[in-house]
Amino acid sequence: MMAAPKPTMPDSVPDTSPSARMANHIMLRSGFPWYGSRALAPRGCPIVAVLRPGDATGLRSLLRFVSERLAKRSTIMSVRDAVTALRRFGLGPRPGEVASVAADPREFLLEGLKNRQAAVIDAPTLKPSDRLMEDLFIEQREKRMMELQKAEQLKAEQQKAPGPQAQASPPPAGADRMTKLPDAAAPATPPVKPADLVRDVFIEEARQRFLHAATTRAAFVERLVMFWSSHFCISADKGGPVRVAAGAYEREAIRPHVLGRFRDMLIAVEMHPAMIIYLDNQVSMGPNSRGAKGKGLNENLAREILELHTLGADGGYTQEDVTNFARILTGWTFDSLENTLAEPGK
């Protein structure tokens, strides 16, 4: 009598052998789906291995597959984190920088924050704001003096001319530029026009700023500088004094405090000549000031500090608070060549 054949386990029945349970545990902990049989796997799902009781070879194949997939996933995630760190918290990756940052993107960002001088731009071609303002005032004064000299010389030449020519009509526009000054009155070297001074300073400030952004290893800090420069923004379109001091304003009021206290940055910003001129606080004078001469109180700086720089539009202050704050700030100005200062608080 022949023995009956042993029943076989169909593919539709999950394998519950120890090796299969271990494989299932590995796949679940690693995040990869695994199915103990082909029949239970969804259509189109790749089969890693179908383990049978005691199938050590299949288990080793599974472990090797999981290890390779995890290593590949780790590499992909590291590259993604590096790109995110360089783009979202920096200025974008430079050639070869993704590979160097991928090892530890978070440490790369934190390392940049440890250097408190990372934002400082110290270039020999850049002058402090007080020197720039002085140069601008001197150039403006020399320009006015040159114009007065030309007008006086033209008047003297007209008075020396004989009768009919003395009553001649004034020269056409632009003729004064063709009038040659006497050798004694002519300057040794032609002075730089204020417009040229402002343009040259502005271009050099921008060039140094872009150069620093392109070469710094602390791009996260540079992004913070851009954020605070936008928060405490000024406009170079205000005119010569603001344009000539715009770069120095960021170098002196924003960059030294970008990793420090907000209070220190706030004071440096509001007391900087560029901000004072931009918001017209140099002409803000109280009614009792001897230098008022018909000028009134200007609330631009006070309102900007409360509404945009600190408390916000709904910060709980009133119009009376703005007026009183503006009265307090009347002493925040700077000395010009004319030396016409108002007394603080008046």
According to the model, what pLDDT value does residue 140 have?
82
In this prediction, residue 81 has a pLDDT band, given cuts at 50, 70 and 90, of: confident
pLDDT at 217: 87
Q: What is the pLDDT of residue 283?
A: 87
**Average pLDDT value for the chain:** 77
Residue 302 has pLDDT above 90, yes or no: yes
Radius of gyration of the chain (CA): 37
Q: Is the pLDDT of residue 276 over 70?
A: yes
**What is the pLDDT averaged over residues 153-169?**
68
The region of weakest confidence among 34-38, 70-74, 118-122, 239-243 is 34-38
User: Is residue 202 over pLDDT 50?
Assistant: yes
The packing angle between helices 56-88 and 18-30, to 10°, is: 0
Share of the chain above pLDDT 70, in %: 63
Q: In the predicted model, is pLDDT for residue 343 greater than 50?
A: no
Q: What is the 3-state secondary structure (H, E, C) of the chain?
A: CCCCCCCCCCCCCCCCCHHHHHHHHHHHHHCCCCCCCCCCCCCCCCCCCCCCCCCHHHHHHHHHHHHHHHHHHHHHHHHHHHHHHHHHCCCCCCCCHHHHHCCCHHHHHHHHHHCCCCCCCCCCCCCCHHHHHHHHHHHHHHHHHHHHHHHHHHHHHHHHCCHHHHCCCCCCCCHHHHCCCCCCCCCCCCCCCHHHHHHHHHHHHHHHHHHHHHHCCCHHHHHHHHHHHHHCCCCHHHCHHHHHHHHHHHHHHHHHHCCCCHHHHHHHHHCCHHHHHHCCHHHCCCCCCCCCCCCCCCCHHHHHHHHHHCCCCCCCCCHHHHHHHHHHHHHCCCCCCCCCCCCCCC
Give the CA distances from residue 78 to residues 101, 108, 217, 256, in Å, rounded to whole numbers and listed in that order: 9, 13, 19, 33
Amino acid symbol at 27? M
Q: How far is CA 210 from CA 91, 124, 198, 204, 280, in A?
A: 11, 16, 18, 10, 29
Question: pLDDT tier at 334 (50, 70, 90 boundaries)?
Answer: confident
Per mean pLDDT, which range of 20-29, 176-185, 219-228 is the poorest? 176-185
Which has the minimum average pLDDT: 52-61, 93-102, 335-344? 335-344
Position 341 pLDDT exceeds 70: no
Under the banding of pLDDT at 50, 70 and 90, the label for residue 16 is low
- In this predicted model, which residue has the larger pLDDT, 36 or 198? 198
What's residue 137's pLDDT? 86
CB 81 within 8 A of CB 102: yes
Diameter of the chain measured on Cα atoms: 155
With beta carbons less than 8 A apart as the criterion, state whether 60 and 75 touch: no
In the predicted structure, residue 274 carries a pLDDT above the cut 50: yes
Both tokens of 106, joined, read 């978070």
CA dist 323 and 18 (Å) reads 82
For position 58, what pLDDT does the model report?
58
- Tell me which of 50 and 238 has the higher pLDDT: 238
pLDDT at 292 over 80: no
The answer to whether residues 278 and 236 touch, using CB atoms and an 8 Å cutoff, is no
Domain range list for the chain: 18-114
d(CA 346, CA 273): 20
Which whole number is the average pLDDT over 100-129?
Answer: 90
| pLDDT of 143 higher than 60 | yes
